[in-house]
Amino acid sequence: MQTLSTQDTGGTGDTSEDIPNDECGVFGVWAPGEDVSKLTYFGLFALQHRGQEGAGIAVGDHENIVVFKDTGLVSQVFDQSILDALQGDVAIGHTRYSTAGGNSWENVQPMFRTSPNGTDLALAHNGNLTNYMELQAKAIERNLIPQEGVKGQGSSSDTAVVSALLADAIQGDTTVLEAARQLLPTIKGAFCFMFTDGHTLYAARDPHGVRPLSLGRLERGWVVASETCALDIVGATHVRAIEPGELITIDETGVHSERFAEAPRAHCVFEYVYLARPDSVIEGRSVHASRIEIGKRLSRVEPVEADLVMPVPESGTPAAIGYAEESGIPFKQGLMKNAYVGRTFIQPSDTLRQLGLRLKLNPVREIIEGKRLIVVDDSIVRGNTQNKLIKMLREAGAAEVHVRIASPPVKWPCFYGIDFASPGELIANNGGGHDEAAVRESIRTMIGADSLAFVSTEDMIAATKQPAQNLCTACFTGSYPLGLPDGNPNAELVRRMQRGDN
């Protein structure tokens, strides 16, 4: 095995963006005779929205596994010469946003381990584990990871722990598949794992199916990816979703499936609202169609007279289109987004930091001036962005700014793979108590809108066309279908909130 790397460039700039972030995207391909590294590279491009802090590809050729990974965007990590060096028949790739473990090279995936019987293993993971502390203690007890690694002297991610435990189980005549059968039922939480021994591609989805994972067919192989948009970009035909609790293996004999656990489904509803790309399909439902429908339903909540409907691009656009179609109010793009502003390695000066939102969004004065605006956004987390945005729109001459949100108020943190703020940082918890009208009025005052309305949880669920019992709505309702993790400060705050403690 080889691990290649450019020099660790350190931090990725200002990380205080007022947006929810998904932890990761995973991509795997088994296709002898194809350029699997470049297929994975393009697949990761399609999944870049799921993580911008690091990217990596592991390629196996039956003899060796070669891993290349680094901090940064996919386009910053890889170039033609690197991809040309990654030759083989099977590959897995990963884009990372850190929720477990810091943002350092050691925590970028895929992870690599060699088992006691000499089997090389590369593994990538999307999700968050609720029994991480238990698994970590087990790995430390077996001397699989050093205690100092947990304290920051190396990888501290849950993926590193799972990689160590899986590799350790491959002893003697035990195969990778047999080791996975032993380990997977002991892992709790939200996860989609992709791993390879350089010969076979393996993929597993947690028994609740919190995060999406799909199987696609190439002319000469197979692809597995977090979202169907990644299948599209490499020319794969979408075959089906990987089922919750399913473990699949792909090799020269084809695709083989088995179940390692059963549990009630709990697909993340926020994938439909914000996280997934709109051109993806999740559980048979178009994400774009779901967002259009949310916008239509949102338009019926406290209608207001206005001159135009405009989105906060890009995530608010489908809902704004639906709102405009249903209300009959014209749709216009009043904000222009700089498509080339992403996470950066350049630390902004205080002067540039004060520009804040203008680096990404700029109002079109001729569209906005003198108009009564309905501004549609996907969610409100801390409220900082909406506050700055409304000030910007008023400076551009907006007569009125009515904000409409395509999800309910976010009141609870996520422990299943989304990096929300802590409960005290969520704007919905900073006034109004348990009275919904008071909470909404408090938020409206803090962001400076003329009016504010949210879509209801019921309408949001209806737009997904999924049974309500099959969805996780924890961040909106405080009902956690996978339970709460031990040893997590935010989880302790949630327990207090659920008990009604001050």
* Angle at alpha carbon of residue 245, lines to 243 and 251, rounded to 5°: 70
Sign of torsion over alpha carbons 27, 32, 38, 39: negative
Sorted by sequence, the CB contacts under 8 Å of residue 79 that are 6+ apart come out as none
Q: Is the dihedral of CA 193, 52, 208, 188 positive or negative?
A: positive
DSSP-assigned letter for residue 242: P
User: Residue 146: what residue type?
Assistant: P
User: Nearest 5°: phi and psi at 250?
Assistant: -130, 120
List Cα–Cα distances, 48 to 23, 25, 75, 264, 373, in angstroms.
11, 7, 10, 30, 31
CB–CB of 373/400 below 8 Å? Answer: yes
Specify whether the CB–CB gap between 307 and 329 falls below 8 A: yes
- Cα angle 12, 15, 17 (rounded to 5 degrees) comes to 135
* Annotated catalytic residue, options 24, 184, 210, 398: 24
Active site residue 192: no
| Tokens, residue 19 | 């947006």
Residues 448 and 391: beta-carbon distance below 8 Å = yes
- Which residue type, as a one-letter code, is found at position 104? S
Strands 451-454 and 285-286: unpaired
Rama region for 325: left / alpha / beta (φ>0; ψ in -120 to 50; rest)? alpha
Give the bridge partners for 400, in sequence order. 372
229 is in an annotated binding site: no
**268 carries a ligand binding annotation:** yes
Residue 349 phi, psi dihedral angles, 5° rounding: -75, 170
- Ligand-binding annotation for 315, yes or no, is yes
Give bridge partners of residue 453 from the DSSP assignment.
404
Q: 96 with 70: CB under 8 angstroms?
A: no
Of the candidates 25, 35, 111, 28, which has an alpha carbon nearest to the alpha carbon of residue 73?
25
From CA 221, how far away is CA 40, in angstroms rounded? 13
475: annotated binding-site residue?
Answer: yes
Mapped to the 3 state alphabet, what secondary structure does 434-469 carry? Answer: CCHHHHHHHHHHHHCCCEEEECCHHHHHHHHCCCHH
Residues forming the active site:
24
**Bind-site residues for Mg(2+):** 315, 377-378
- Annotated binding-site residues read 268, 315, 377-378, 414, 472, 475
Binding-site positions for [4Fe-4S] cluster read 268, 414, 472, 475
